[in-house]
Structure 1
Amino acid sequence: MSDFPRLLEPARWGSLELPNRMFMPPMGTHTTHPDGTISDVGLAYWMARARGGVGLLITESIQTQTVSEIANPSVISISADHQVAPLRDAVAQVHAAGALIAANLTPGLGRVMPVAPDGGPAYSASDNTILADPARRCRELSLEQIGEILEQFRAAVRRTLDCGFDAIDLHAHTGYLTDQFMSSTWNRRTDEYGGSLENRMRFPTDMLRIVREEAGADFPLSMRITVRHHFPGGREADESRQMALILQAAGLDVLLVDSGSYEAVDWSFPSYYMGDGVYLPDAAAVKPSLDIPVAVCGNLTPELGERALQDGIADFIGFGRMLIADPDLPAKVRAGRAASVRPCIRCNEMCIGNVVRGCGLECAVNPQAGHEADRVLLQAPTRRRVAVVGAGPAGLEAARVAASRGHDVDLYERTGAIGGVLEPAATPDFKRELHRMIDWWGGELADLGVRVHLDHEVGPDSPELLGADAVVVGSGSTPIVPDVPGITAPGVVDVLAFHRGALVGPRVVVCGGGLSGVDSALELAKDGHEVTVVEMADAIAPTMVMHNRVALLRQLGEHGVRLLTGHVVTAVEPGAVQVKGPDGDERIETDTVITAFGVRANTALADALAGTVAELHVVGDAVQPAKVAEAVHTGFQAGMAV
């Protein structure tokens, strides 16, 4: 018997029979051609998930109108006839792979988009502030413009049907244009599209009516709404239940739910700080009132999804970033191989982070995501002996990829465990997905026959390296220890030593406000310690993805962590740390000092091997200290190159 009977059972999405209860929610990819047509890169991304067995694949948001919205070159559009043929061909290929696909249609972003097609301020339901520039205000859409938007939406629905999509999903959440009509905080109109809840729901129900008029009463139709906005004056669950009932009465088949807004962006794009099943309370809040199914996503795993189905919290489970990390998740679950699903570590670095930066979607732990067409793991023409030094993320990925291509691989690790710095960094509960990632690599290497040699240190003269056809060095990094009086005294603990179990006292000063330092500070504060972070820069963790940083700073504040930016540690004394800041010197009493000043590349082995081995590849922090994503990607490239 399967461990996931509910997740794997067929279910009806309106009139559409799905092979299982798993769906891929809409996620932007920034892979589109400038004219709004789908690209080969975007299609290859779809196809990998289609072949992976997901019950329903929902596209990224597809633009339907240019009345109040500029043509966005980063998203698919269906606002013009020339955009139909490429999309029709893409849908046909998805169907040929045995998958079902729904089009997520968006009538616009409203105040989230800074300018309108005429170059003036954006349009919204009312004269709301523009998200990117609160000093400026949107223009309120006229009734005539609303009518034009809906007529263009009607034309887009016709084109969508011409493309052969199996269902339509409507974009109405997170404070985008439809949500701006639905929400009293953004809708202050006094005409038929504002005022009462029924009037505020007129815009989304108009869209439902149009789909029904064009597609018929039985065509599968869903909509995603935000149950809680998580900012003062935003929507709460009680009103969302009323909205859901109005949508159900208007002919909706499936309600997708989430939580958050751009005013609470950490909820809209939940990172590892947010924990598991972020939107399950939102599903639980609306489902008992409804007769139609409820679909939910948000930091879910197959285990959590199965439990939510068993408990009646939801009817469909969405895997978004997890399907970026492993497009074969549904197939692996069906095959009884859930343990082999590559976990999403919820870092947001190269999925959401890339799209926000204007780059195509990628993934920190899956280097093939967004590169499905050009990063294909083909068998190597000749089987070679490959030696990989260092079982950190870069070395593990290099060993996995090299072995996947048919090479004979030995992995040497000087400590007693794989994972490198990920292993101690995964000690906070909010980073436990890193442990799952290490376990995944361990399982993959075992299945591929990689020989892992723990407690095995190698040097430049080791025969294990000199006899290899190719050597990959992932020797990692070494901590930076500044020339500060007392920095090596008793009571001073390196951040990795802390994660490995070094004892700390009730009061802790963390020296260094980068990612490792502040994550440690948050872990300590959650455990009841009194924590101060000292950082010489003007900001804490400035390179962190903005969505994650919002969650981090909020939680640091909630747990009383004192943040001293623009401060330099000048001395460590028994029971205290001396710091210098903009307002002068300060002595901070403490029981333990944790040093997190950063790291530098450990290049000793790579430098010694240069010119002495047949082929040398240097990966991860041994090249340049960076985040997990960069380490994994350099490891992948090395595994492809040997």
Structure 2
Amino acid sequence: MGYESLFTPFKIGNMEVKNRIGLSPMGTNSAFTNGRKDAQEIDYFIERAKGGTGILYMGCQMLNEQIAQGSMEGYLDTYTVLPSLTSVCDGCHRYGAKIVCQISPGTGRNAFPDTFGNPPISASALPSVFNPDVICHALTKEEIAQMMEGFKFAAGVASDAGFDAIEIHAHAGYLIDQFMSPVWNKRTDEYGGSPENCARFPKEIVEAIKSVVGDSMPVIFRISLDHRFEGGRTLEDSMKLLKVLEAAGVDAFDIDAGCYETLDYIFPPSYLGESCMSYVCAEARKAVSVPLINAGSHNPDSAVELIESGNVDFVNMGRALIADPYLPNKLMTGHPEDVRPCLRCNEYCIGRIWNKHTKLSCAINPQAMEEVRFEIKKTDSPKNVVVIGGGPGGMEAARVAAIEGHKVTLFEKNSKLGGVMGDICTAKFKNNIKKLTKWYTVQLEKLGVDVRLNTEITGDESILEECDNIIIGCGAVPVTPPIPGIDGNNVISILDAHRDPSLIKGEKIVICGGGASGLDGALEIASEMGKKVTVVEMLPECGKDVFFINKITLFTKLAENGVELMTNTKVVSIEENGLTVEKQDKTTETVLADTVISAFGMKPVLTTVDAVKAKYHLKTRVVGDSNKLGKIGEAVRDGFYAATSL
């Protein structure tokens, strides 16, 4: 496929952007408590401008500290934030990119009660999302007027900093969306009731910003056109809003779908597929004449398809550009095979922010938000490096060591690279894992890594003695608990099910183990093979190791495909016709099955690791599952650290 259509210039208002690729507005959770941006975030944006992105949207900056309610995205109520914002604007302009200041009056009812114990603000006195016992404070007309003054000041800051445009964050069911949507707006004054009144708050924001910047900076409006829940705003409702806002002076719309009631559409996991929100574009194109921007798990091919459909003018990519900041330049120079594909795993981007309250990173790009500190540098003293194991940890170690200029030899005992990662990527929703495995294979070949397949290392080889450094990761194998009948002909491991689907006999399939691998296997077998699947899990819930946002879509898809989840259920024995299970009340029952799949977890393979460490512990670094059982991201990080510390 050709990508030429992504590299034509296009205008928003009086701002010309050099190509059609944008970096979606995403918080990095890294600003200082005084509202200023950290150097690492500045470097993060500059790296993506350097990589060829045409227009970059900074994650939402709040009007002031009180509205931010603990968010570490920065705020725009003081001139003291200007030096760091000027740095990011100047840095992006150096590479011919445009940069947009996204301004937000807060998350409203989606916020946690703030540090002062005050309830969140909203259009109306509704229950807070995260604690329904806390009732939101409905903004008074005086407070709304104050907020408009805040928008004027923020617009002036954005202009002084050197931003090229301003985006109003009216998305995701946040505060502005709460005014625009009757499901949340229960006001009886001029800010509620009729569609015109519900549009008054966002219209006044547009007018406040325009009163400061005039036509010198375009104003873009980010809005979800389809909330996707009963009572939420529909596509049809949103078209009326778009027309009102266009008449108010909005220069472009940044459109997609979802809200906090449908959280998986705010952070779409792999189960939703590519381009999962482009369906909103065709109607919007008919409703307004200003430029349209769309995001939602785009890859290069879906971006081309959408631009060429004529339904949008720009395609924003978020996690794809976290994973590979040089994606645009690689496409522009005719090297799509070099684009590192995002896994849509959500583990290190929103996962780190939400679960660990720290800054954004990436499962497969450890340099994200560490562009300077983790720079890969060419060495002045090349070493002979042996990598044992061709899983994600070993492949990343070999790739990075080769970029640094070391002579790298990689040994893999199987006939192909990828390890467990290369085996499990058989489902359509794991296509990006398959692409990542392919990407590593291509990169190692281009970098001249000496890859030796079908070669098992024991620890006695002379190359180990002769080399300078050893990086080893021999992966993991399925756990086989001592359950009567587990070695029967009707029992296979989850890995064998992926490696050879013909082993999955009959129509009734039971998967023992309701962790991520068991549930993914269940969805694949039910949705792509059309079989009746039951999952048996000993714990009170399935998917304890699945990130909670991903779990929303996963459980929806499992239900849609008729997968039965049996929790608090222990496998007692496996027979020819199925298995005997014990329920929480100690009663037993038979679950009929043609094939039983064992997904009880994994254990590291340490025979070679221990042998090599015993002889060469001073020059050996252990990575991946051999170091600590984990997901792809942990293994990649291990490999990156091992190579960059040589």
CA–CA distance in 2 between the matches of 1:70 and 1:366? Answer: 29
1:550 aligned to 549, 552, 573, which one?
552
Cross-structure match for 1:588 = 591
Q: Are 1:222 and 2:220 counterparts?
A: yes
- The CA deviation at 1:565 is 1.4
| Sequence identity (%) | 36
Kindly provide the CA deviation profile for residues 420-465 of structure 1, in whole angstroms up to 9, marking residues without a partner as x: 1111211000110011101111111111100111111111112332
CA–CA distance in 1 between the matches of 2:92 and 2:619? Answer: 41
CA–CA distance in 1 between the matches of 2:473 and 2:552? Answer: 32
Report 1:39-54 matches (<5 A): 39-54=38-53
Report 1:221-620 matches (<5 A): 221-357=219-355, 358-502=357-501, 503-504=503-504, 505-526=506-527, 527-583=529-585, 584-613=587-616, 615-620=619-624
Give the partner amino acid of 2:623: V
Q: For structure 2, which runs of at least 5 residues remain unmatched after alignment?
A: none
- The CA deviation at 1:218 is 4.6
- The CA deviation at 1:73 is 4.7
- The CA deviation at 1:71 is 4.7
Cross-structure match for 2:195 = 197
Kindly provide the CA deviation profile for residues 13-39 of structure 1, in whole angstroms up to 9, marking residues without a partner as x: 221111101111100101111211000
CA–CA distance in 1 between the matches of 2:274 and 2:64? Answer: 36
Give the partner amino acid of 1:258: D
Give the partner amino acid of 2:596: V
Larger deviation, residues 37-46 vs 216-225: 216-225
- The CA deviation at 1:116 is 4.8
- The CA deviation at 1:66 is 4.9
Cross-structure match for 1:639 = 643
Report 1:97-246 matches (<5 A): 97-116=95-114, 118-246=116-244
Q: Which runs of 4+ in 1 moved over 3 A?
A: none
Kindly provide the CA deviation profile for residues 387-442 of structure 1, in whole angstroms up to 9, marking residues without a partner as x: 11111100100100110100111111111111111112110001100111011111
Corresponding residue SS for 1:577: strand
User: Normalising by structure 1, what TM-score?
Assistant: 0.98
- The CA deviation at 1:543 is 2.5
1:167–1:220 contact (8 Å) kept in structure 2: yes
1:495–1:520 contact (8 Å) kept in structure 2: yes
CA–CA distance in 2 between the matches of 1:588 and 1:118? Answer: 54
- The CA deviation at 1:156 is 1.1
CA–CA distance in 1 between the matches of 2:518 and 2:114? Answer: 42
CA–CA distance in 2 between the matches of 1:474 and 1:118? Answer: 49
CA–CA distance in 2 between the matches of 1:550 and 1:148? Answer: 38
CA–CA distance in 2 between the matches of 1:384 and 1:514? Answer: 41
CA–CA distance in 1 between the matches of 2:514 and 2:418? Answer: 23
2:514–2:599 contact (8 Å) kept in structure 1: yes
Give the partner amino acid of 2:644: M
Give the partner amino acid of 2:427: P
How large is the RMSD of aligned CA atoms in angstroms? 1.4
Corresponding residue SS for 1:531: strand
Cross-structure match for 1:75 = 73
CA–CA distance in 2 between the matches of 1:80 and 1:477? Answer: 53
Give the partner amino acid of 1:630: E
- The CA deviation at 1:118 is 5.0
Corresponding residue SS for 1:421: helix
2:151–2:209 contact (8 Å) kept in structure 1: no
Give the partner amino acid of 2:589: E
CA–CA distance in 2 between the matches of 1:127 and 1:73? Answer: 22
1:65–1:149 contact (8 Å) kept in structure 2: no
2:70–2:115 contact (8 Å) kept in structure 1: no
CA–CA distance in 1 between the matches of 2:84 and 2:450? Answer: 47
- The CA deviation at 1:135 is 2.8
1:258–1:279 contact (8 Å) kept in structure 2: yes
Corresponding residue SS for 2:186: coil
Corresponding residue SS for 2:559: helix
Corresponding residue SS for 1:438: helix
CA–CA distance in 2 between the matches of 1:485 and 1:119? Answer: 56
Corresponding residue SS for 2:132: strand
- The CA deviation at 1:217 is 2.8
1:603–1:623 contact (8 Å) kept in structure 2: no
CA–CA distance in 2 between the matches of 1:473 and 1:217? Answer: 59
1:86 aligned to 84, 87, 111, which one?
84
CA–CA distance in 1 between the matches of 2:433 and 2:476? Answer: 19
Cross-structure match for 1:20 = 19
